[in-house]
Amino acid sequence: MGIELASLSKSYDGQNWTLKNINVQIKSGEFFTIVGPSGCGKSTLLRMIAGLISISDGTLKIDDQDVTNLPPQERSLSMVFQNYALFPFLDVKSNVAFGLKARKMPAAQLEQRVAHALELVGLSELKARKPRELSGGQRQRVALARAIASDTKICLMDEPLSNLDAQLRSKMRSEIRELQQNLGITLIYVTHDQVEAMTMADRIMVLHAHEVQQIGTPSEIYQHPANSFVAQFFGTPRMNLLSVHYSTKNQRHLQVDPLLDYVLPMDIEEGDYFVGVRPNALEIHATAQASNAAIKNIEYLGTQSIIHALLDNQEEVRITTAQNNTFSLGERIQIRATAAYFVFDNTGRAIFFNKGDGEDGRTNYKQTVTNAL
């Protein structure tokens, strides 16, 4: 079942918008992730879809039916919460069966449905246990089983993995993705974790400052971020943003002094811009000659290191190096950019990018990067 959000807005106090004008069509069977920093309104949006809080403005349709003002139980969807929302006094099986009992499902059918759901999440053996006798991951699976047993075609999940340790989280990520594929359900998944969003979703909606920043597939969002917020939200470590001024005097070259010269589109207007370069698109050369930066900090991460360097113009950049290196703090280095870079205007809007292979996706500019050094 598909879901359509048309100009959906929310104000809790009647004065300020928590969410403004959210538009998207979520396709049937899609894994759709809503991601953004804390407080951006992710849970609010999910709860509006669920019917747990009212919609201030706009229309919500499920399977072409207007459900804007329908109560939750008439929206044919299930929801999995961050804290699992299990009943502590009921055993696993009864927790999974709870919603079906409330719907007065015949006993035989209920038994079968619950057994199937428990089997899918690998909990059949533990069906007589109480939630307190389970690990965090197992509790999470009970909550998943409950959503599966409800047999709705749409499932909403609000940060379902945030209470789990990193290893279990990664395992559950692929389990949830697999279940969603096998069951063919439409899944709307809220997370603040960009890695979770990237690895699980068919499409991602990025929320920030009350508004949608971008909707796209993980690769669209990573390779063609709509603005500097999205560009810096995805990718670890964050994309470097270097401020530059482009004047008619240096018509063709936008100089990110002292790092690089970029050849820019000829029709760009005079003004302030940001050039974005991902940390893995910068290279360090250990040379005393023509150095342009000094090493400020080194984070060793085993197979790679993150180097924090201070450019001579006092801007700080992050660079990932592929292998262990012999750099030391304070050492003078030369930083060079490989070809891939982005240009944002002074509002942060992406106006240009260069993938480094001479093919510019969004624009048709055929430009290359030239090293000034």
Nearest to 275 by CA among 308, 304, 227, 241: 241
Site string for ligand ATP, 175-214 (x = CB under 6 A): -----------------x----------------------
Using only C-alpha atoms, the chain has a radius of gyration, in whole angstroms, of 25
Nearest to ligand ATP of 35, 148 (CB atom) = 35
Nearest to ligand ATP of 42, 203 (CB atom) = 42
Examine residue 42 and tell whether it contacts ligand ATP (CB under 6 A): yes
Q: For residue 304, what is the DSSP state?
A: -
Beta bridge partners of 157: 80, 189
Find the helix or strand (DSSP H, E) in which 139 lies.
Answer: helix 136-149
Backbone angles phi, psi at 40, to 5 degrees: -80, -10
Amino acid at 181: Q
Nearest to ligand ATP of 42, 127 (CB atom) = 42
# binding residues, ligand ATP (CB under 6 A): 11
* 89/91 Cα distance (integer angstroms): 7
Examine residue 41 and tell whether it contacts ligand ATP (CB under 6 A): yes
The piece of 34-42, 70-78, 179-187, 305-313 that touches ligand ATP (CB under 6 A) is 34-42
The piece of 35-43, 101-109, 231-239, 249-257 that touches ligand ATP (CB under 6 A) is 35-43
In the list 33, 44, 78, 354, the residue contacting ligand ATP (rule: CB under 6 A) is 44
Find the helix or strand (DSSP H, E) in which 271 lies.
Answer: strand 271-277
Nearest to ligand ATP of 38, 326 (CB atom) = 38
- Cα torsion 123, 124, 130, 136 to 10°: value is 0
Q: Could you tell me how many residues make up the chain?
A: 373
Examine residue 12 and tell whether it contacts ligand ATP (CB under 6 A): yes
* 190/33 Cα distance (integer angstroms): 6
Give the neighbor-by-neighbor strand order of the sheet with 3-10.
19-26, 3-10, 57-62, 65-66
In the list 39, 122, 271, 358, the residue contacting ligand ATP (rule: CB under 6 A) is 39
41 within 8 A of 209, measured Cβ to Cβ? no
Nearest to ligand ATP of 18, 255 (CB atom) = 18
Other Cβ atoms less than 10 A from the Cβ of 128: the count is: 10
Tell the smallest beta-carbon distance from residue 252 to ligand ATP (Å): 43
Where on the phi/psi map is residue 7: left (φ > 0), alpha (ψ -120 to 50), or beta? Answer: left
Strand, coil or helix: what is 281? helix
Nearest to ligand ATP of 35, 295 (CB atom) = 35
Nearest to ligand ATP of 207, 295 (CB atom) = 207
Examine residue 93 and tell whether it contacts ligand ATP (CB under 6 A): no
Q: Which two tokens stand for residue 133?
A: 């006798």
Other Cβ atoms less than 10 A from the Cβ of 293: the count is: 24
Nearest to ligand ATP of 20, 42 (CB atom) = 42
In the list 3, 40, 295, 343, the residue contacting ligand ATP (rule: CB under 6 A) is 40
Nearest to ligand ATP of 39, 361 (CB atom) = 39
Nearest to ligand ATP of 127, 169 (CB atom) = 169
Amino acid at 31: F
210 within 8 A of 18, measured Cβ to Cβ? yes
In the list 9, 18, 232, 325, the residue contacting ligand ATP (rule: CB under 6 A) is 18
The piece of 21-29, 38-46, 149-157, 352-360 that touches ligand ATP (CB under 6 A) is 38-46
The piece of 37-45, 70-78, 127-135, 178-186 that touches ligand ATP (CB under 6 A) is 37-45
22 within 8 A of 34, measured Cβ to Cβ? no
Tell the smallest beta-carbon distance from residue 213 to ligand ATP (Å): 13
SS3 sequence of 61-121: EECCEECCCCCHHHCCEEEECCCCCCCCCCCHHHHHHHHHHHCCCCHHHHHHHHHHHHHHC
Tell the smallest beta-carbon distance from residue 17 to ligand ATP (Å): 10
Tell the smallest beta-carbon distance from residue 209 to ligand ATP (Å): 11
The piece of 40-48, 166-174, 327-335, 348-356 that touches ligand ATP (CB under 6 A) is 40-48
The binding site for ligand ATP (CB under 6 A) comprises 12, 18, 36, 38-44, 192
